[in-house]
Structure 1
Amino acid sequence: MAEHFLKQAKQYSDSRPSYPSELFRFIASKTPSHQLAWDVGTGSGQAAQSLAEIYENVIGTDASEKQLEYPVKLPNVRYEHTPSIMSMAELEQKVASEGTVDVVTIAQALHWFDLPTFYRQVKWVLKKPHGVIAAWCYNVPRVTDAIDKVFDEYAVELKPYWDPARALVDNNYRSIDFPFEAVDGADDTRPIEFVSEKEMDLDDFLTYLRSGSAYQTAKQKGVELLSEDVVERFKSAWTEDGCQLKVAKYPVYLRIGKVGAPEA
């Protein structure tokens, strides 16, 4: 899905929410060692930067060269442009050798992947036993009742332009294939909910809406979903309480699992 974001990569970098520190602490608590993390579909590097505070080294990969222009450069993070589907040789060359990765993370991207191929590669690079895969998605932001009402009406117009894979996000990753063992302390691999918060004004919020792939798809087809009338309705709801800055709350749903011991 890299092509969806080529033209609006800077908007995407600026408007995406960060992820709560509790999410990364929870993931790290499930990996016995903290030497190497692979952040797949790293985009503008939000998750990679947080991982870099916990893991000695982080590799962030993305199929979009444009997206990789925007991550903050850190001494223990290496960014790599990779093809959408890598061969095993490319995986070893660009990412890591077999059995050397502590955790593989995928933020808001797993629903775009060729899952059988990707999972085979995840199981190859992860340390055995107890190497961890952590994939999460965030759903629509909640701001205030008035803004949420306008957003939900706007989302109805947006829905025909979502890629079908988006349905996996709407379902909070409950139905996505996830063939891994439960991590220590968990009974299963069902989604675990966290909350991400982002302070923004109306312009930030509209930038977030315009950075979405469905909005861009509609625009490419000559449909402007954020018409003057819709923007005016958002503006009226946003200024209803006289406060310009709002806290948008994004529910984040984590699927986390581990690989077992290598087969004899």
Structure 2
Amino acid sequence: MTYRLFEEKHHASIYQRYRFVPPEEIRDIILHYLERKKGQPHVLAVDLGCGTGQNSRLLAPHFQEVVGIDISECQLEEARAVAGFNNITYRKGTAEELPFPDGSVDLLTAASAAHWFDQQRFLLEAGRVLKPCGCLALLGFADNIRLHYGSCGDRLTDIYDEFKKVLLPYTSTQVAVANTKLQDLYAAIPFPDKERIECIPLKQQISVRNIVGFIESFSMYQAFQRAEPDAATALLQRTHDSGMANRPFEGKEHATSYWKYRVSPSSQLIEEVMSFLKKKRGVQPFDLAVDVGCGSGQGTMLLAPHFSSMVGTDVSPAQLEVALEHATAPNTSEPTPEERRRRVDWTGDNLCLGPNSVALYKQSYDSIR
């Protein structure tokens, strides 16, 4: 049976943007195993259920040819749109009926996809197309993601887990199979020589927006969205907002304490910065300075007297609100609506700052994190 759960173009674009790329460590384990069992040359790798091509691209430098196979034409369109991989081709098809001659494939892979295959038919087809000593590699992510961010990592992980609980009624039998780490499929593999490797840790920096996008790519979220579109959209937004609210420096109380108790840069340090700038830049007056991660604005205000225009940027609205409350320098003013509309572009030509003003901007999450 072929499952068509990743067909829509919007879903494919989310999959391309937010789905995790298998780590290089796993790729190296696969290649070392193939080298040990079969040796060179590595001619043809076939990536089954390739989706938008993350795993296919990871394999490309190590094979003469890589073919990605997927049932979804929208997923394949996203994969083909990624330039720079001339030895990869993408074909529409299934893992149970492969368009390759007997004994022609060096490596068959399936990354977070094998739980969708018909087990018996897939294994028969794998045995048919693999070369003598060719290899089969099935990989996936365990469902035990932990989030870490300062002191609020446990709360962020709880938010992620709460989201998954809402999706439980929409979780298919096949996803449940994936969560068992493909135990039954592994046991059914008929090859006499096989190895199972578990618990390969992966640490990755990821923004709140990207983890929410990753969740949105889940098949069970897509099922929820088809059944209850308004509720699904609200859940996604609520999860994003909860994640942002639990980051350090976001609350008004914390921002106020930050302003009150945080040690400001010393006047001597500011003098050294300006002395260095005068020595290197020479030309005065100085028109524009940008204080990135300005917080509640202590350093921004100390620098303000030395520049015609000053921009403070921060991801926290609460920090910026406190900064504006204390923006008392002579060349200080809140940005105009036109300046706010231009907040993502950080070049002096496009900020449109008026003379003798300090602008405090909330940085765009997608452009900064």
Question: What's the TM-score, normalizing by structure 1?
Answer: 0.79
Partner of 2:101: 97
More helix by share: 2
1:193 aligns with 2:203: no
Partner of 1:235: 244
> Which ranges of structure 1 fall in alignment gaps of 5 or more residues?
246-264
Q: Would you say how many aligned residue pairs link Structure 1 and Structure 2?
A: 232
CA distance in 2, matches of 1:157, 1:62: 29
- Output aligned runs, 1:112-151, within 5 Å: 112-128=116-132, 130-140=133-143, 141-144=145-148, 145-151=154-160
- Provide runs of 4+ in structure 1 moved above 4 Å: 241-245
Shift of 1:197: 4.0
Partner of 1:167: 176
1:213-264 residue CA offsets vs partner (Å, 9 max, x unmatched): 1111111111426165443322223x1367979xxxxxxxxxxxxxxxxxxx
In structure 2, the CA distance between the partners of 1:174 and 1:216, relative to structure 1 (3 Å rule), is same
Aligned to 2:91, which of 80, 83, 101? Answer: 80
Partner of 2:16: 13
Partner of 1:207: 213
Question: Does structure 2 conserve the Cα–Cα contact (< 8 Å) formed by 1:18 and 1:198?
Answer: no
Shift of 1:118: 1.0
CA distance in 2, matches of 1:230, 1:203: 10
Question: What's the TM-score, normalizing by structure 2?
Answer: 0.58
Residue identity (%): 25
1:103-160 residue CA offsets vs partner (Å, 9 max, x unmatched): 10000000000111111111011011x2110001113432222211111122111111
- Which amino acid is the alignment partner of residue 77 of structure 1? I
Partner of 1:110: 114
Shift of 1:193: 3.1
* Root mean square deviation of aligned Cα: 2.3
Partner of 2:46: 38
Partner of 2:268: none
- Which amino acid is the alignment partner of residue 66 of structure 1? C
Greater C-alpha Rg: 2
1:167-198 residue CA offsets vs partner (Å, 9 max, x unmatched): 12222223334414364xxxx53343323444
In structure 2, the CA distance between the partners of 1:115 and 1:164, relative to structure 1 (3 Å rule), is same
In structure 2, the CA distance between the partners of 1:170 and 1:240, relative to structure 1 (3 Å rule), is farther
- Which amino acid is the alignment partner of residue 125 of structure 1? V
Q: Which has the higher contact order (CA 8 A, sep 6+)?
A: 1
- Which amino acid is the alignment partner of residue 48 of structure 1? S
CA distance in 2, matches of 1:26, 1:83: 26
> Which ranges of structure 2 fall in alignment gaps of 5 or more residues?
149-153, 251-292, 294-314, 316-364
More strand by share: 1
Question: Does structure 2 conserve the Cα–Cα contact (< 8 Å) formed by 1:40 and 1:105?
Answer: yes
- Which amino acid is the alignment partner of residue 209 of structure 1? I
In structure 2, the CA distance between the partners of 1:227 and 1:110, relative to structure 1 (3 Å rule), is closer
CA distance in 2, matches of 1:82, 1:161: 26
Q: Secondary structure of the equivalent of 2:205? A: strand
Q: Secondary structure of the equivalent of 2:17? A: helix
Q: Secondary structure of the equivalent of 1:217? A: helix
